Structure formats: C-alpha cells, structure tokens
Structure 1
Amino acid sequence: MSLGSFLLSQTRKICIGSSIANIYARDAWASRQGLQTLSAISGNRFVLGLGVSHVPMVENLRGHTYTKPLSTMREYLGKIYADAKDSENWPIVLAALGPRMLALSAELTRGAVPYNVTPEHTARAKSILGPDNWLAVEQKVCLEETTSTARALGRAELERYLVLPNYRRCWLSLGFTEADLDGGGSDRFIDAMVSPEAWTRFSADWRSTSTPVQPTCAFSRSIRPAISMQQSVRWRLFSPG
C-alpha cells in the first residue's frame, strides 16, 4: 500500500490497485484502514487487491501458519466488512485462480485479478464472475523477436512461480501436464504464457470474453518488468466514471 500511496500522490485521474496484497502481511483491520485512508485522500481512486499468497512466503519467509485459502479469505473479508453498511460497494478484488475463489470474489468483492493465467482461464473466470464484476488479468509479454531468446527470457521470468503449488494446480487445470511444468517449463507452456503469438491470441480471446482491460507485464533482455500486477494501474477497468 505504500507504493499505492506514492502513485496516488503523483497522479490525479487514474486509479491505482494493490495487486496483490498478501493477507498474511497485515491484519484485516489494517487493510480496511489502508483502503479507507487511500480512498479518502485520492478521491476514491484506490482499489484493494488481496491474495492468500503461497506457503513458502507465508511460512518460511514470514513465519506464519498457512491455512485453508478459501475459508481464510472469507474470514478475512468478514473482518474487513465488520459493521460496514455499504461493503458491497467497496473497491476490493481478489487474486483468484480456482473456481471457488473466483466464486467468492463474485460473492463478496467487486471482482478478481488473476495472475499467471491463459486466455482459457480468463473465459472461465468471466463465466463465474458474471457480467457485472470486475476482471483484470495480468498477461506477460516478451519484447523479443527471436523465439529461442524469448523462451529463455520467459523461463527466467516464470522460474520462481513454477515451484508454487497454487500456480501449478491452476496450470494443470488448464490442460498442462506435470512434464510441462518441470525443468523450467516446456516450450508449449512457455509459449502459452509469454510468446508474441500467445499475446495476439490472448488479445483476440480477451475481446471475445468482453473483459474490458488488458494490463500486461513486459520484459526483455535489457529490462525487468516495468509494470507488473504487483505495481499495476488498472487503466480502464478501474477508471473513475
């Protein structure tokens, strides 16, 4: 939220979202106060994106106990909304991957901000969220013309995610195999996630699902991701009015 505060202070019109704020990093009351404060000082331009994170980050890094994601998130949201009369309008979204977390997003928040997914997942998410909820999806784009170099860059970018069970389960549900996800990722997997062809298909498929925003995470040989979903601007989806 500290980055969000800075970005809001340097802008006047665009909306800024925290995507993805780890619910184990701050308690529900702190998140609620942060949302209300940043909304108040920015003219309601802040969107609170929340996620359950991953076991290694929660237990090994932070020293907490990772509990069941769905029930933990439901309880966390219940505490955020405690005694609130208009909570259904609060600009909160969830980093949802699986169908049950997506359903929770539709039930208790304004929508979802999936990360590391494919157009097939976007279509599924849209069907679960329905036409009235927000859906802002991260898509990686590799700024490289040579296929072999693009794949190498893609593997380097995705390496840290390939060991995380939450993402692996999501990718397996999308039709990838364990073999696709081992050894740095198969060409099939890498191409689906970051290749120029995937982006062309992604854009077309995204339009066909009526998802109204296309945030990206771009990388090349000389730059690290300039804007990722952890530091993202929801250009149209969350724009005022």
Structure 2
Amino acid sequence: MGIKRTHATMASNDAHDDGADSRADAATRGMHPDRAAELLVDADELEVAAKHAKRAEGRVKRLPAGVRIERERELKGLEEKVREVERRKKRSDCITRWHRVRFFERRKAERRLKKVAKEGGDEHGATVDLNYALYFPLEREYVSLWPRKKEGDEQAEERMGDRDMWLLVEKCMADGTLDDLREGKVEGCGVENGETDLAESHAVDKKTKAKTKKTTQKAEDSDSDDGGFFEK
C-alpha cells in the first residue's frame, strides 16, 4: 500500500519543484509577473521577462477594471526591469569591447599631457583629450581619438573622435559632472533618455561593431604624441 502524502508535504515539494525548474520551463507556465520578476537574475533573465510581459499583457485585457489597473501597474514594473536588463547588457558589452582601446588612448593622452605641461602648449586641450578617454559614456560605442595611421598615408594622424562628445566633456569639466557623463546621466550624451537614446545608439552600434577589432589594433600600435584634438 502506498504512503499517503500530506497536504503540507505536497505543498512543500511543489514549492521546491517550482524553484528548481529551469527558466525555460518556468517561462512556459504563465506564472504571475511578480514571480517572473524574481527570475531576473542571470543571462536568461531578458528572454524570460519578455515572455512573461507579453503573456501578462494578453491576460490583463480580460480582467475586471479594478484588477486590471493593478495588473497593468505590475506589468509596467516588469517592462521597466526588461529595459534595465537591456541597459546592463549593453553597458557590459561596450565595456568589454572597448576596454583595450580606451586603455591605450588613456595612456597616450597622459603622455601628451605631461609633455605639454613640461614643454608648453595646449594644456587645456590635452586635458580634455584625457578626460574624453576616461569619461566617454560606458553605454555608448567608443569613438577613437587617434586611429592608427595606414601604411603610406601622409595624414595618418587625422583626429576622428566624436567632436560633439569632446565638447560635452569640456563642458562637464567646467560643471564638475564628468562622473555623471561616464554613467550616461548628462543631457545630450546619448544614453540618458531611456528607450529613445538607446534605440539611436543601437543603430550606431551596428555600424561600429565590425570596426572594433581593427580599431583596437590601431590603438595598440599607435605611438604618436602630436598636438591637441581640436583647435580653439
């Protein structure tokens, strides 16, 4: 004769099983948005959250008015989490992709600043160059200040940085907001307005991603210490 399972035991086992399910399995069970939000912890979080958001949206429309308002609020919170996951992923990708380029450009900018301070020249411009490499927003594709010259190219040291960003760095130096710029919290930096700015920067990403490897090599090989970035 089989052993009867008590209600408490069944509930305990069910709870354990629910927690042990894979995220892919959980995503197919139509669980409550609150439960879905709890799953936003690893690489699968965006896919899981998106599935629950879409499923919850369909259910919400069929609910009574009072309940619908509450569920719409929950759904909005879940959608915010999805956007935050997207931002974190974009930030992580950009940091990884451009780490070496920024490192070598920072070193070059430091050398130039020391040289200008010692021998005279545009110390302000050299300082902006350094801060450009240090505080360019982490969520945006980095635009190199000093791409490597091509073999046989007489104008190899042409500056190809983002002029608008360079000027914004200069402004943030005066305002004391460089840290905010690096975190994408300064107006006009391209990342502070959520979906709109992120969508625009995604379009830029597609154009620049293919050039990353080449730009990294250029930054490593570049060893020039010429003058400032922009002339006043």
Higher helix share: 2
Greater relative contact order, per chain length (Cα 8 Å cut-off, separation 6+): 1
TM-score by structure 2 length?
Answer: 0.23
Greater per-residue strand proportion: 1
Give the alignment's TM-score, normalised by structure 1.
0.22
